[in-house]
Structure 1
Amino acid sequence: MVDIENQFQPDYAISPGEILSDELELRGMSQTELAKRTGLTPKHLISLMKAKATITSETAIKLERALGMPAQYWLNLESNYQEIQARQAEEAQLEADLSWLKKVPVNAMAKLNWLEKHKDKKQQLVEVLRFFGIASVDQWDDMWPKLNVAYRQNQTHEVFPEAVSAWLRQGELEAARISCQAYDRNTFREALDEIRAYTLHGPEDFVPALTELCAKAGVAVVFVPSLPKTGVSGATRWLNKDKAIIQLSLRYRSDDHLWFTFFHEAGHILLHGKKELFLEGANGLDQEKEHEANQFAESELIPKAAFKEFTRKGNFNKASITAFAREVGISPGVVVGQLQHKRLLDVRFCNDLKRRFKWAHE
């Protein structure tokens, strides 16, 4: 014998009040008489029959005694009615929110195993809401209220705040798995001095080192692949007063961009408040704070005095850049990046001194 599960879910709801009304008609009992028998007011009975009031346990017991129908029967009717009502409201809400789903890069997220892919659009929307940890699209605006502001100006490339929030959310989930000590400014400052030397190493060395050293200082460092329509290379924010997060996307895939972005985000942690979200790549930001973070990254990566003396000579070739990088203990690619950024070196030259990265899944 094969058991077939009945998964029928009605698309209509009959209220307990309708059942009660029919029951009174069958019995030839007036509402006035029922009011006297139960002690419920006529006004309350009318509200029950119009589904404007719910049947409570107390009301169910009174109906049981007056009509001889078990209290559980009335409570089950009420429970089923409320569930169907809720499902109908949920379906209507999901239908209305499907347009929002189009702005979320579901295919890219599924390829990265961030969520499951579904053929049914409403089911997919539910999966996306679970990923974000929100009950409905309305809560997205509450959780990421400043993303539209961050991208309020025209971008060179189209950016969807919903896609950016998905990238941030994945970073948040990965950061939650990193056990950190409570944030300590001095410990983080010391960690940065040690991390600088790792610009000479490959990802197999610097990724675990960054993670461990920063975690001891209360900062979770996560590497999260960028998504389409994001245009973000890094982000900094505080998960709570004792734990910050630095999120890196390897957007440009070269060591000069990676290390500058990391120290830029570290600058935000050391120099600025705990209530702001800093997005490297967004244009609607506090430009003064962005400039301060840039200055911090530059000075941390290459000592100002040494860099000034090197650039004064104006001899920028592979040999001189490599020798200078060795002298200051930094990756040659970082030096190339700084020279190009300051327009002292053509962006076409010396790029082979930069180290290129790619994700393991690629």
Structure 2
Amino acid sequence: MKATNQNIPFEATHPGILIKDELEFREDIKQKDLAELLGVKPSFLNEIIKGKRPITADLAILLEKTLEIPADYWMKFQSQYEIDCARIKEKNINKIKLIELWNIIKEYVPVNYFKKQGYLSEKLEENITKIKLIYSINTIDDLVNIFATKKFAFYKKSEKLKIDDKNMIAWNSLAEFEAKNQLINTFNFDNIEQLTKNLNNIFFENNNTLTKVKDVLNQFGVKFLAIEKLEKTPVDGYSFWSENNPAIAVTLRHSRIDNFAFTIMHEIGHIALHLKNNKEQKFLDLTHKEVNHFETEANEFAQKKLITENCWEDIITNYIPLNDEKIVEISNRYNIHPAIILGRVCYEMDYYALNTTIDKKLK
């Protein structure tokens, strides 16, 4: 049977302590007297009392005769002491190994971030186990290999963005870890059209939006996570397949309704257009400016679902140049949040200098 930590004392107790206690209790015999009775030098007995020498079988028999404590008791005491010493040594060796492992982990994992998020405790062994679960690895070597082999495919890079690999992989791994823990409804690709309509209604109202979006996504079988970003992780959204469901993770780094709505629709575009045929793909979206054909398709999907082609044609034909009054009129006519209209126009027509009072805050 494997010993537990509760079986291991902080410090092993040598049987010499019992000799010391007996001498203090008995007034009729001194340490020098006992040494003479045992036939050993006082210095030899003193080393036993201080735990520097073991009690042998021969000495145990002599102690039985002089102190009237059974020899087998002394031998069991000595044996337990040696066992405890061995267990303490093993415990310390294991503790050293854990410290060494943790020092390696700190090179590849933003430990303070995970502590802040409540994933780590004060117990080193539990923390190492937790990191293995979050990063979906069996050994620390696997963690090291992630940084040598893991490639973030299908995400939009920009030379202007400063990306911290440690933080990005941490955010990415945490999103996948949390997604595994979600149990939601069955997903059906045929329901995506209705899902986007329901989401647009939520975006238009922009009231308790994050909770409502999560509820409707879960209802339609899409896992949803809002994971706090780290430094130098300029990520908006992440779409991937988790167990039997698609999943969307966001950072809310801008906390704007137009950015949030576009990110959600963009990731649903990946689900509808790309994950349907290849569930092994993963789309980590950093910026909407530099794109490949996957991102172009997801962008177009998001644009058309948020603002229909007919609505957009109406805006271009009848409402340019724009002002707040016209934006609100379009919003009420098509049930589209004003900030989403403004965001699209700014992006498409470089209207960023437009003086506006439109509230863009995600609520």
The 2-side partners of 1:244 and 1:227 are apart by 24
Q: String of CA shifts for 1:66-88, please: whole Å, max 9, x gaps.
A: xxxxxxx9xxx9xx89x959966
The total of aligned residue pairs comes to: 281
Give 1:128 deviation, angstroms: 3.3
CA-CA distance at 1:198 after TM superposition: 0.7
Contact 1:114 1:170 in 2 (8 A): no
Distance 1:152 1:187 in 2: 28
C-alpha contact (below 8 Å) 2:156/2:285 kept by paired residues: no
1:217 aligned to 217, 220, 226, which one?
220
Pairing 1:138–2:141 present: yes
Q: Quick check: 1:98–1:125 contact (8 Å CA) kept in 2?
A: no
Q: CA deviation at 1:312?
A: 3.1
Aligned: 1:265 with 2:267: yes
Aligned AA (2:235): V
Are the equivalent residues in 2 in contact too, given 1:246–1:265 (CA < 8 A)? yes
Aligned residue type for 1:320 = K
1:178-327 residue pairs with structure 2 within 5 A?
Answer: 178-204=182-208, 206-240=209-243, 242-272=244-274, 273-281=278-286, 287-313=292-318, 314-327=320-333
Q: Whose relative contact order is higher, 1 or 2, with alpha carbons under 8 Å and at least 6 apart?
A: 2
Q: Is the 8 A contact 2:156 2:286 kept in 1?
A: no
* Greater alpha carbon shift after TM alignment, 289-298 vs 320-329: 320-329
SS in 2 for 1:324: helix
User: Taking structure 1 as reference, are residues 143 and 236 closer, same or farther at Cα in structure 2, changes over 3 Å only?
Assistant: farther
1:345 aligned to 331, 351, 355, which one? 351
Distance in 1 between residues matched to 2:336 and 2:92, nearest whole Å: 60
> Cα distance, 1:196 vs. partner?
0.8
Q: Return 5+ residue gaps in structure 2 as ranges.
A: 1-5, 13-78
Seen in structure 2, the aligned counterparts of structure 1 residues 178 and 85 have a Cα distance that, compared at 3 Å, is closer
Distance 1:209 1:295, change over 3 A: same
Return the letter of the residue paired with 1:298.
Q
Distance 2:112 2:171 in 1: 13
1:161 aligns with 2:150: no
Return the match for 2:109 from 104, 112, 116.
Answer: 104
Q: Deviations along 1:49-75, whole A, 9 cap, x unmatched?
A: xxxxxxxxxxxxxxxxxxxxxxxx9xx
C-alpha separation in 2, matches of 1:330 and 1:116:
45
Match of 1:172 in 2: 176
Q: Are the counterparts in 2 of residues 97 and 137 from structure 1 also a CA contact under 8 Å?
A: no
Q: Per the alignment, in what secondary structure is the counterpart of residue 320 of structure 1?
A: helix
How far is the alpha carbon of 1:276 from its aligned partner?
A: 0.8
Summarize deviations over 1:4-45 as a string: whole Å, max 9, x none.
952479xxxxxxxxxxxxxxxxxxxxxxxxxxxxxxxxxxxx
Query: Which ranges of structure 1 fall in alignment gaps of 5 or more residues?
Result: 10-72
Q: Give SS of 2:121's match.
A: coil
Residue from 338, 346, 363 that aligns with 1:332: 338
Question: How much has 1:282 moved relative to structure 2?
Answer: 6.4
Deviation at 1:226, TM superposition (A): 1.3
Structure 1 pair 107–203 and aligned structure 2 pair: CA distance change class (3 A): farther
Larger Rg belongs to: 2
Question: Shift of the alpha carbon at 1:259?
Answer: 0.3
Cα RMSD of the aligned pairs, angstroms, is 3.9
- Output one character per residue of 1:208-255: Cα deviation in whole Å (capped at 9) or x when no partner: 332233223321112222122211110000013x31101111111111
Percent same amino acid among aligned pairs?
A: 19
Give 1:153 deviation, angstroms: 6.3
- TM-score normalised to structure 1 length: 0.65
1:180–1:219 contact (8 Å) kept in structure 2: yes
**TM-score, normalised via structure 2 length:** 0.65
> Which range is displaced more, 215-224 or 329-338?
215-224
What residue identity is the alignment partner of 1:334? I
Deviations, residues 283-318 of structure 1 (Å, cap 9, x unaligned): 9x9710000000000000001122122123422111
- Report the secondary structure of 1:221's partner residue: strand
